[in-house]
A and B are shown apart, each in its own frame.
Chain A
């Protein structure tokens, strides 16, 4: 019952935001609901509630291993949002605040959904409620990004429903009585019809892969991340994508049990490496630092997919990487938002010398870049090392070599862009807009805290977390 609170708290917050009369004080609902949510998520991480057998939703080991990361990211973003919305005082924020809270509620639901249909409904509604968030800035470019997000994302979500139906038919064909919970499907696995399960996996991989942003279905990502406000970008990259990843892990469990383990691991490994390659190439070419973050997100989704392809040890490492990705990417998106506002532009051709205009944000951005490209002692280094080790142990020598090469290329691409923006002399545009957007505690503390957490995970990941990751990997891939 307590786990239900993780969904109800943000939903109640969203309703309160809709009813709240004042645009000026409404944003404070975000940190209030965010703090309650984070406290509850962490408390339930320490004291796991029991999950009733046959339940449609529950705080099971996988939800426990992922949801608190999103919750912490949301809390940081919500504190930032108060300062951010304070800068845009004249803009109405009722829909924006309610939409953010609704998104948190639906992500919590998607992580806890233990039923194929319920999972789909949660991901679908979460997709819809991010639409107004992406075009919050209301520019022509934001409309373009929203259109592409909806069209590509909508098609992906439609295909994942088709995949869910195929899985349903596989169960029906095997004599199932219509119970679509993952536990029931896995228990019935040996009876499931193989061709339908394989078809379902392909459709669900394409569908949820689109939501995750795996190449080649990643085309919506640079546009949406580039045009959405920094907070929304952070929540999409660190929250929405994790729901799709969790969905794929849950589906994979069923497909593996039905004898499709070879198919799932091969397809995940291939798509993961392909995403890393595509991301690395675009990172070497792009000139826009917000789009750079999108390609970096594609890269990290590729890393997660590679990890998920490798069985128990790989999945535990991938869950560790989910935390690192959410926290580090959050710090990057929020500091990039500060830099973009002060610079008034987003490409290396128009932005330079930001270490003089926004000194603290520029430093966070550089350190965040180093963290996300896996420099020790930040968390991503250790999770990627574990994934690399699992790749090696799994006998994928060529895979490990590609993995390292793509990581190196991505590092080259990102460092090139980040230092071009931070170093040098400020451009005239930034001299004009910079003083209007001074750095304040509200816009600096959240990314700093996120970066600190990423460092903390690298230095000493708490035992409770390690256990949660191991437990989730154990339930997904019971050791023989």
Chain B
């Protein structure tokens, strides 16, 4: 586990906090895209030797997480012509504090869990936990559909980060299937956003309140 990969994971953890503090939709999308690219390039550093398959996985991840999905989100944003404010349900300062708390908690928790010797000094495990929690915070703490999708993306990034621990031993079939499924999931969410926008004009999920007890 090299210092370079830890640097990248640390960068991803910083991007979590940036996303939680950010108040405008375009910047959240850019942050999620940047995080996707950072994580996509990680397999190249983790694998000692050069393998085409690794390069392919990395390129695919960067393309999907860093380019395609953010592009779709940007398009939805333009098409909807909506206010760029994020409109938090949970304020920026509380989200940031919770995010920072989660980051510290993740490091502590990872220190307590039994890790294989080769993963002991790595930031992969705490980085993954912190990213998952940040994603969940964004998912629950923001009103607009697009920022929720970004939260979901960051949640996925956290899970992907954890998956990197297993990339060598677990069959690649699982990894590939996972990538495909996650892609489609967000893609479909994007389509739905498209439809919701046509139906409601704004992307404010707080207006989705007809159905309740």
Q: Are A168 and B148 closer than 8 Å at their CB atoms?
A: no
User: Using Cβ atoms and an 8 Å threshold, which residues of chain B touch A285?
Assistant: 213
Q: Are A143 and B177 closer than 8 Å at their CB atoms?
A: no
Which of B132, B189, B210 meets A154, CB within 8 Å? B189
Determine, out of A121-129, A253-261, A348-356, the stretch whose residues face the partner at the interface.
Answer: A121-129
Asked if B181 CB lies within 8 Å of chain A CBs, one says: yes
Q: Are B210 and A141 closer than 8 Å at their CB atoms?
A: yes
Which of A144, A166, A286 meets B210, CB within 8 Å? A144
Q: Which residues of B in the span 152-199 have a Cβ within 8 Å of any Cβ on A?
A: 152, 155-156, 158-159, 162-163, 165-166, 169-171, 173-174, 177-178, 181-182, 184-185, 188-189, 192, 195-196, 199
Q: Could you tell me the distance between the alpha carbons of A291 and B211 in the complex, rounded to whole angstroms? A: 10
Q: Do A148 and B188 contact each other (CB < 8 Å), given the known contacts A178-B170, A180-B170, A286-B213?
A: no
Q: Are A155 and B155 closer than 8 Å at their CB atoms?
A: yes
Asked if A420 CB lies within 8 Å of chain B CBs, one says: no
With both beta carbons as reference points, the residue of chain B lying nearest to A178 in the complex is identified as B169
Residues of B whose CB lies within 8 Å of any CB of A are 112-116, 132, 136, 139, 145, 148, 152, 155-156, 158-159, 162-163, 165-166, 169-171, 173-174, 177-178, 181-182, 184-185, 188-189, 192, 195-196, 199-200, 205, 208, 210-211, 213
Q: Are A195 and B211 closer than 8 Å at their CB atoms?
A: no
User: Using Cβ atoms and an 8 Å threshold, which residues of chain A touch B115?
Assistant: 173
Asked if A10 CB lies within 8 Å of chain B CBs, one says: no
Asked if A454 CB lies within 8 Å of chain B CBs, one says: no
Which of A131, A141, A157, A162 meets B162, CB within 8 Å? A162
Q: Do A168 and B170 contact each other (CB < 8 Å), given the known contacts A143-B192, A285-B213?
A: yes
With both beta carbons as reference points, the residue of chain A lying nearest to B135 in the complex is identified as A158
Q: Could you tell me the distance between the alpha carbons of A117 and B189 in the complex, rounded to whole angstroms? A: 23
With both beta carbons as reference points, the residue of chain B lying nearest to A127 in the complex is identified as B185
User: Using Cβ atoms and an 8 Å threshold, which residues of chain B touch A193?
Assistant: 114
User: Using Cβ atoms and an 8 Å threshold, which residues of chain B touch A155?
Assistant: 136, 139, 152, 155
Q: Which of A118, A148, A162, A176 has the most CB of B within 10 A?
A: A162
CB distance from B116 to the nearest CB of A (A): 6
With both beta carbons as reference points, the residue of chain B lying nearest to A285 in the complex is identified as B213
Interface SS majority for chain A: helix
The interface on chain A, measured as residues whose beta carbon lies within 8 A of the other chain's beta carbons, has a size of 47
Q: Do A121 and B181 contact each other (CB < 8 Å), given the known contacts A154-B189, A172-B169?
A: yes
With both beta carbons as reference points, the residue of chain A lying nearest to B155 in the complex is identified as A158
With both beta carbons as reference points, the residue of chain A lying nearest to B132 in the complex is identified as A162
Asked if A177 CB lies within 8 Å of chain B CBs, one says: yes
Q: Could you tell me the distance between the alpha carbons of A180 and B159 in the complex, rounded to whole angstroms? A: 18
Q: Do A196 and B181 contact each other (CB < 8 Å), given the known contacts A140-B199, A147-B192, A148-B208?
A: no
User: Using Cβ atoms and an 8 Å threshold, which residues of chain B touch A222?
Assistant: 211, 213
User: Using Cβ atoms and an 8 Å threshold, which residues of chain B touch A60?
Assistant: none
Q: Could you tell me the distance between the alpha carbons of A222 and B212 in the complex, rounded to whole angstroms? A: 9
Q: Are B152 and A154 closer than 8 Å at their CB atoms?
A: yes
Asked if A150 CB lies within 8 Å of chain B CBs, one says: yes
User: Using Cβ atoms and an 8 Å threshold, which residues of chain A touch B208?
Assistant: 144, 147-148
Chain A 133-150, CB within 8 Å of chain B: the 1/0 string? Answer: 001000011011111101
Q: Are A172 and B185 closer than 8 Å at their CB atoms?
A: no
Residues of A whose CB lies within 8 Å of any CB of B are 117-118, 120-121, 124-125, 128, 131, 135, 140-141, 143-148, 150-151, 154-155, 157-158, 161-162, 165-166, 168-169, 172-173, 176-178, 180, 193, 195-196, 199, 222-223, 226-227, 282, 285-286, 291
CB distance from B139 to the nearest CB of A (A): 6
Q: Do A173 and B114 contact each other (CB < 8 Å), given the known contacts A121-B177, A121-B181, A154-B189?
A: yes
Q: Could you tell me the distance between the alpha carbons of A154 and B114 in the complex, rounded to whole angstroms? A: 29
Q: Are B185 and A124 closer than 8 Å at their CB atoms?
A: yes
CB<8 Å pairs between A and B, sample of 18: A117-B173, A120-B178, A121-B181, A143-B192, A143-B196, A144-B196, A146-B192, A151-B148, A151-B189, A155-B136, A158-B182, A165-B159, A165-B165, A169-B166, A173-B115, A178-B169, A196-B113, A291-B213
Q: Are B159 and A131 closer than 8 Å at their CB atoms?
A: no
Which of A128, A165, A178, A226 meets B211, CB within 8 Å? A226
Q: Could you tell me the distance between the alpha carbons of A166 and B145 in the complex, rounded to whole angstroms? A: 29
Q: Could you tell me the distance between the alpha carbons of A140 and B148 in the complex, rounded to whole angstroms? A: 20
Which of B112, B145, B213 meets A147, CB within 8 Å? B145
CB distance from B88 to the nearest CB of A (A): 17
Q: Are A227 and B211 closer than 8 Å at their CB atoms?
A: yes
Q: Are A165 and B148 closer than 8 Å at their CB atoms?
A: no
With both beta carbons as reference points, the residue of chain A lying nearest to B113 in the complex is identified as A195
User: Using Cβ atoms and an 8 Å threshold, which residues of chain A touch B152?
Assistant: 151, 154-155, 158
Q: Could you tell me the distance between the alpha carbons of A177 and B168 in the complex, rounded to whole angstroms? A: 10
6 further contact pairs, Cβ within 8 A, besides A128-B184, A173-B115, A195-B113? A128-B181, A158-B152, A172-B165, A176-B169, A193-B114, A222-B211
Q: Could you tell me the distance between the alpha carbons of A367 and B178 in the complex, rounded to whole angstroms? A: 44
Q: Are B171 and A117 closer than 8 Å at their CB atoms?
A: yes
Q: Could you tell me the distance between the alpha carbons of A227 and B114 in the complex, rounded to whole angstroms? A: 46
Q: Are B169 and A177 closer than 8 Å at their CB atoms?
A: yes
Q: Could you tell me the distance between the alpha carbons of A118 and B163 in the complex, rounded to whole angstroms? A: 15
| Smallest CB-CB A-B distances: 6 pairs | A117-B174, A178-B169, A144-B208, A223-B211, A121-B177, A124-B181
User: Using Cβ atoms and an 8 Å threshold, which residues of chain A touch B139?
Assistant: 151, 155
Which of B170, B192, B199 meets A117, CB within 8 Å? B170
Q: Could you tell me the distance between the alpha carbons of A102 and B174 in the complex, rounded to whole angstroms? A: 21
Q: Are B188 and A150 closer than 8 Å at their CB atoms?
A: yes
With both beta carbons as reference points, the residue of chain B lying nearest to A135 in the complex is identified as B195
Q: Which of B114, B116, B156, B158 has the most CB of A within 10 A?
A: B114
Q: Are B213 and A172 closer than 8 Å at their CB atoms?
A: no
Q: Could you tell me the distance between the alpha carbons of A195 and B196 in the complex, rounded to whole angstroms? A: 42
Q: Which of A140, A145, A151, A291 has the most CB of B within 10 A?
A: A151
Q: Could you tell me the distance between the alpha carbons of A141 and B195 in the complex, rounded to whole angstroms? A: 12
User: Using Cβ atoms and an 8 Å threshold, which residues of chain A touch B114?
Assistant: 173, 193, 195-196
Q: Could you tell me the distance between the alpha carbons of A307 and B192 in the complex, rounded to whole angstroms? A: 37
Q: Are A165 and B213 closer than 8 Å at their CB atoms?
A: no
Which of B162, B181, B200, B205 meets A165, CB within 8 Å? B162
